[in-house]
Each structure stands twice: as C-alpha cells, then as structure tokens.
C-alpha cells in the first residue's frame, strides 16, 4: 500500500504501450535535497507499490549519505530471461522516451536489478541527455576523457560494503584479519565483497548463490571459487567445501555475515539461529525489522542497507560531478566511513538500533535541507 506523508511521494507515474508491451513505473518520492535519484530495475514482478517503497529507501539513503539528491526509483515489468537483448533495449528506450520530460530535471536513472551500463547507454541515447542516467559505460563521455561514465561494474557498491565492514570493526575495536566471513550472494556485489575482503586477509569460509552454499571452516580459496562459478554456474561445484542449502549460510558459526542477494534473508523464523556478531546488509532489507531488533537486543551489530550499500549512489554522484574512478572510490570510502561512524555513535548514545539512528539522521537532514553540507 502506498501511503502519502510529509515526505511524499511527489509523483507516481505508470507507463504503458500495448504495441511494445512496455509496462513501467516511475516514482519521484522526494526532492527536498535535490533531483530524485534511484535505479531502474527490470523484473517480471515489479509493481508501482514496490517502486514506491524502493524510492523511499533512496530518499533516506541519499540523505544519510549527505548527497544533494532526492529519492526516486523506476521499474519495467519484464522477464529478461525470456526476451532478447534487442527486445530489452527496445523497452528501455521506450520507457526513457516516455519519461523524458522529467529527466534529468526531476529524475536521474541508474543501474539496478537486471540493468547495467549497456541499459544506461540505451537510456541516455533515447533520452537525449547524458545527465539523464548514471552508471553509463566508461567510454560514454561529454568529450574524450572528460565527464565519462562510471559503470557499477567497477564495483562501487561492493567496495562501499567493505568500507562499512572495516568501519564497523574499527568501532568494535577489532581487526578484519582472520575474521570468519560468510557472504550470501555471489553476484556483482557479493563477488566484489569477496575479492576485496580476501585482500584484507579476512577468512572467507562460506559463499552462497541460488544453487546453494559452499562451506569450509578452514577458509575457501576465493580465486578458485570464482573460476568454479564461471565454469560450472554455481559455487556448490567446489569439491573443497561442504555443500549446504542457500538458507543454511545464515546459521553458520562465523564472525561476519554479509547478506548480498535478496531481501528478508534473516527473519523471525531464523533469527535465533544466527551466530555472527556483525551483519552488514549489502542487499536491501536483508534483515526484517523485527529480526533486527531481536539481534540488537542480543548484542549483534547490524549495519543497515541504507548506510552499507550506498556506494552505488555515491558513485552516481561522483559521475554526476564528473569525477574519475580514483576520485569516486576515495569519495565512497570517506563518506561510508564517516556516515557509519555518525550512525553508530548515535545508536550507542541513544541506545537505539543503527537503523533507527540512521533514519533519525536522515529525517533531520530532510527537515533542514538548507543546512546540509554535501560531498
């Protein structure tokens, strides 16, 4: 159900074209801090209501990241496994043309589920403005070598999640080296988190994908897992690990759990089986609110998605400003660590969950937009 409140939503738009079977949604939730920013997803089940909830998350996420962006989100109803790349591109182009009057003055698109740099290239070509979307190919520039795209394939979200892990451990007075880590999800974000944490000398003991979990308490050879995933299609083909179900990864005896795949990975049904002492939400709403409160009472630190996975939208801001990749990664590291420090400090001082602290900070910034200092 879509509920209007003091924040929004400001615009709810539904696009439909019977000829191309285009059915899409755009929600501009709030523009108090700036133009609405949020990704474009393509799934067979996306709805206007889902798009609204995701747009509201972006409102909070951008405010917490202290970016001059409001919250927005868009979606196209499509099963990308059942259509060709050209059909997919046609839907992207049609949707972009339909919302052209609002881009980039009121809304800026970006990559999300089943969209990436190729789709963003199609979006901006159809829209007529390079500023209408971020996450574009690095070769798409205002002029050669100037204000080029920063595709999320660079790993901005995963990089930000790792910075959140490091900042949370520092807050707890711990070091990442030797920490046992379980990563639920081995897509773009989970893959980058795996490789980057391995470089930090964390002990990756479990990785899951849609096919199941591979687990070795002595540590997985991450380079080998990448090769197995590429050749066999699932991490469970790893012969040097115990094969478990995808759901079992939540219950393993690890120090850090990183849900990087789906929402509601941890619920009231399995929360009491969680053994990790630090959970960092790489995926949106990976821990249900009631489970999050339960974990907080048990002394488990949960770093909420609206802080932990903000690397993608911070990258979008860097692209919007014309930064290069090095400047982008520097900005993500600085913002994630600084913002998480603020959130955890407020959580400790007021004895509330980190999510509650983050939302308080976001609402304060949204209610006093003229006082915000960005970048």
Provide the sign of the torsion angle of the four alpha carbons 243, 237, 199, 333, taken in this order.
negative
Would you tell me how many other CB atoms lie within 10 Å of the CB of residue 337?
A: 18
- Strands, E assignment, 222-280: 242-244, 256-259, 278-280
Please check if 30 is assigned to a binding site.
Answer: no
Q: CA separation (Å) from 171 to 151, 200, 224, 269?
A: 31, 17, 32, 29
Buried b (16+ CB within 10 A) or exposed e, 45-84: ebebebbbbbbbbbbbbbbbbbbbbbbbbbbbbbebeeee
Query: Is 73 an annotated catalytic residue?
Result: yes
How far is residue 84's CA from residue 170's CA, in Å, rounded to a whole number? 47
Using DSSP, state whether 49 is helix, strand or coil: helix
Of the candidates 101, 95, 100, 105, which has an alpha carbon nearest to the alpha carbon of residue 75? 95
How far is residue 128's CA from residue 66's CA, in Å, rounded to a whole number? 29
How far is residue 305's CA from residue 280's CA, in Å, rounded to a whole number? 7
Q: In DSSP terms, which residues pair with 30 in a beta bridge?
A: 71
Please check if 188 is assigned to a binding site.
Answer: yes
Q: CA separation (Å) from 363 to 4, 6, 183, 184, 373?
A: 16, 11, 31, 30, 15
Catalytic-labelled residue, pool 3, 11, 21, 73: 73
Would you tell me how many other CB atoms lie within 10 Å of the CB of residue 227?
A: 13
How far is residue 234's CA from residue 211's CA, in Å, rounded to a whole number? 6
- Judge contact between 161 and 308, C-beta under 8 A: yes
Please check if 157 is assigned to a binding site.
Answer: yes
* Helices and strands (DSSP H and E) totals, the chain: 11, 15
Please check if 316 is assigned to a binding site.
Answer: yes
Please check if 61 is assigned to a binding site.
Answer: yes
> What residues are annotated to the active site?
73
Q: Which residues are annotated as part of the binding site?
A: 37, 61, 157, 188, 316
Q: Which residues are annotated as part of the binding site for NAD(+)?
A: 157, 188
Q: Which residues are annotated as part of the binding site for substrate?
A: 37, 61, 316
């Amino acid at each position: 159900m879509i509920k209007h409140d003091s924040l929004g939503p400001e615009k709810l738009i539904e696009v439909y074209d019977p000829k191309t079977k285009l059915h899409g949604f755009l929600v501009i939730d709030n523009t108090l801090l700036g133009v609405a920013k949020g990704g474009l997803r393509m799934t067979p089940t996306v709805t206007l209501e889902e798009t609204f909830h995701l747009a509201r998350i972006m409102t909070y996420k951008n405010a917490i990241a202290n970016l001059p962006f409001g919250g927005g989100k868009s979606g196209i109803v499509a099963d990308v496994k059942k259509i060709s790349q050209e059909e997919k591109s046609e839907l992207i182009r049609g949707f972009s043309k339909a919302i052209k009057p609002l881009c980039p003055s009121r809304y800026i698109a970006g990559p999300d589920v089943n969209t990436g740099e190729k789709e963003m290239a199609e979006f901006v070509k159809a829209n007529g403005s390079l500023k209408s979307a971020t996450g574009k190919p690095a070769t798409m520039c205002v002029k050669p070598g100037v204000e080029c795209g920063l595709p999320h394939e660079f790993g901005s979200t995963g990089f930000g999640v790792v910075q959140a892990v490091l900042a949370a451990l520092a807050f707890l007075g711990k070091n990442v080296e030797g920490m046992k880590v379980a990563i639920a999800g081995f897509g773009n974000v989970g893959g980058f988190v795996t490789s980057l944490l391995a470089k930090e000398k964390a002990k990756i003991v479990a990785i899951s994908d849609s096919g199941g979990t591979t687990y070795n308490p002595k540590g997985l050879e991450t380079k080998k897992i990448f090769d197995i995933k590429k050749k066999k299609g699932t991490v469970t083909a790893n012969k040097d690990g115990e094969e478990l179900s995808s759901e079992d990864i939540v219950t393993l005896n690890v120090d850090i759990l990183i849900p990087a795949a789906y929402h509601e990975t941890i619920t009231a049904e399995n929360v009491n089986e969680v053994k990790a002492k630090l959970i960092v939400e790489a995926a949106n709403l990976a821990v249900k609110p009631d489970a999050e409160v339960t974990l907080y009472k048990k002394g488990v630190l949960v770093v909420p998605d609206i802080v932990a996975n903000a690397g993608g939208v911070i990258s979008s801001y860097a692209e919007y400003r014309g930064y290069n990749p090095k400047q982008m990664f520097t900005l993500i590291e600085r913002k994630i660590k600084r913002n998480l420090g603020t959130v955890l400090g407020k959580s400790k001082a007021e004895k509330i969950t980190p999510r509650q602290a983050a939302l308080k900070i976001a609402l304060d910034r949204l209610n006093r937009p003229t006082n915000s200092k960005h970048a």
